[in-house]
Chain A
């Protein structure tokens, strides 16, 4: 009797283990989360504009928020954490891209932080990056990591609205390392780029 019980317990344990492994494999994480949760999370990250006192600036920022929200800027510019993007580091950057043709770049901190963010840049500096892929010092930016070539098709007015909104999001101190040399070929051959999931910035 005891012997049978032992076998039954063992069988149950083995079955449970197989079941767990099977669950992990066949129902990967994120797939058990409803699409609406991701969709709502996306909007919840982007600060609303209703605290902007000037109504004209508010209307412009509202347009900028719509453009930013629907362009998936968060896909690269929200700081990555161990469990996915960190909502309280909205557009604070830190994702590392090793590109084949343009070396290693890290997504920039777009928040209006005085020392590490866009507060250091003029409107024209920001627009020049989005329109022409050129930093204030004249260096050109990889269009494979940062799709500035596509964003260059924003009208001048939408471009302006995007910059206005970026000026009104929550500042986050997050230092981003400058671009460096070194291509993706050394990591995986025949790649356009390799995108890392850990925060390469300094808080």
Chain B
């Protein structure tokens, strides 16, 4: 062992002592139940992108999400083991954070966050609503489970009809277009009536016990009531067993033949409800990414959904502004024919015959939509409420500016970026917070 210089001999014991003091201080500072000091930072980095730093459920990424992120300030929570209208228990909140809500953007944080961090977030999320200071959570007591059997499932099917579950969930749980029915939740958003044959997307879990609890406690803030007082408790277990029995095979378990007939059936269903299919296409193809103007953080400007107006500078080609896709007659697609709209998004040819570049508008990709899906997309665009937002025509750079930048690009190898501007470049202007241009 090499000799240790005398001046350094004290360093190791001092380090150990300091460490011990530090650990002791750490224990003293965080008694059980109190959030560690860094929980705000944890919330802001992990949760605020969707739920917002103020907990109002309107973080920068919230606008495109279905369902919308929870607004913590109201204290209204959907998935609970407590009485209808009551606050959730800590364990309910813990479960939502740790295991997520299937079928939504709320992921299970277990494995990313440890138990202590999750518990700290439960406490932190509760402080957004004053209700938690004055009210308690009233737990619901579940009766012992009734095992599933053909008899129980049959009783459940009868109760499903008596309780009129099919009004929102469809006959045999096959689902309905809740948006077309005009079902809204307490936040004013379109409600979702899940297809009961697809249990992998049940937010609150897919077991009979989970489904029993949804029936018993209801889903606060949504049209789904509690049946705790209106139905016999044993019937709730029978309905739960019935709903479990409705499950179809998911695609990841199907054989090739089953997949073929599944996709054929799906195409048939899509053809029967083109607006619903079109809505789903427009949402997932990210049309709003460029056709809904946004602020710097990417938060959609209120009242301008699909109204266009996002300005992009493509240096050598000039400035282009995204089109107004709403059904406004003067400034939107109101007077465009179906084939005009399809020619634009599949071939990049505008109504005046001029051409679009193959980017940023990805028409070379959208051209591969089946004719049926193209029709569905148009059918949905027709339903967008009109917003008056006149879009300025593209502006080419001057001859000199064009040639200089072209020269720099070709000879100098300069990388001219595409610049995407915040705000609305259309005639409706950029509304301030809280104000929206009038819909007509």
* Chain A interfacial positions (CB closer than 8 Å to B): 21, 24-25, 28, 30-31, 35, 38-39, 41-43, 55-56, 58-60, 63, 66-67, 69-75, 82, 98-101, 128, 131-134, 136-140, 142-144, 147-158, 160-161, 185, 187-188, 190-198
Contacts and interface: CB of A to CB of B under 8 A. Distances in A.
Contacts of A31: 355, 357
17 contacts: A24-B406, A28-B317, A30-B358, A35-B348, A38-B358, A38-B364, A60-B251, A60-B252, A70-B285, A70-B366, A72-B362, A82-B413, A101-B298, A140-B46, A144-B60, A149-B61, A190-B423
Interface of B: 45-46, 49, 60-66, 102-107, 109, 112-113, 198, 200-201, 250-252, 254-256, 259-260, 263, 280, 283-286, 288-289, 294-298, 313, 316-317, 346-349, 355, 357-360, 362-369, 373, 396, 399, 402-403, 406, 413, 415-423
Contacts of B422: 100, 190-192
A42 B201 contact: no
Given A38-B364, A161-B251, A21 B296 contact: no
A69 B259 CA distance: 20
A71 B286 contact: yes
Nearest to B103: A156
A160 B45 CA distance: 27
A133 B284 contact: no
Contacts of A150: 64, 283-286, 288-289
B259 A143 contact: no
A138 B113 contact: yes
A56 B286 contact: no
A42 B289 contact: no
A8 to B, nearest CB: 26
Contacts of B298: 99, 101, 142-144, 192
B179 to A, nearest CB: 13
Contact of A194 (B200, B294, B366, B417): B417
Nearest to B201: A156
Nearest to B281: A70
A190 B419 CA distance: 10
A130 to B, nearest CB: 10
Contacts of A72: 285-286, 362, 365-366
Nearest to A54: B256
A42 B367 contact: yes
Given A149-B61, A149-B105, A150-B289, A71 B365 contact: yes
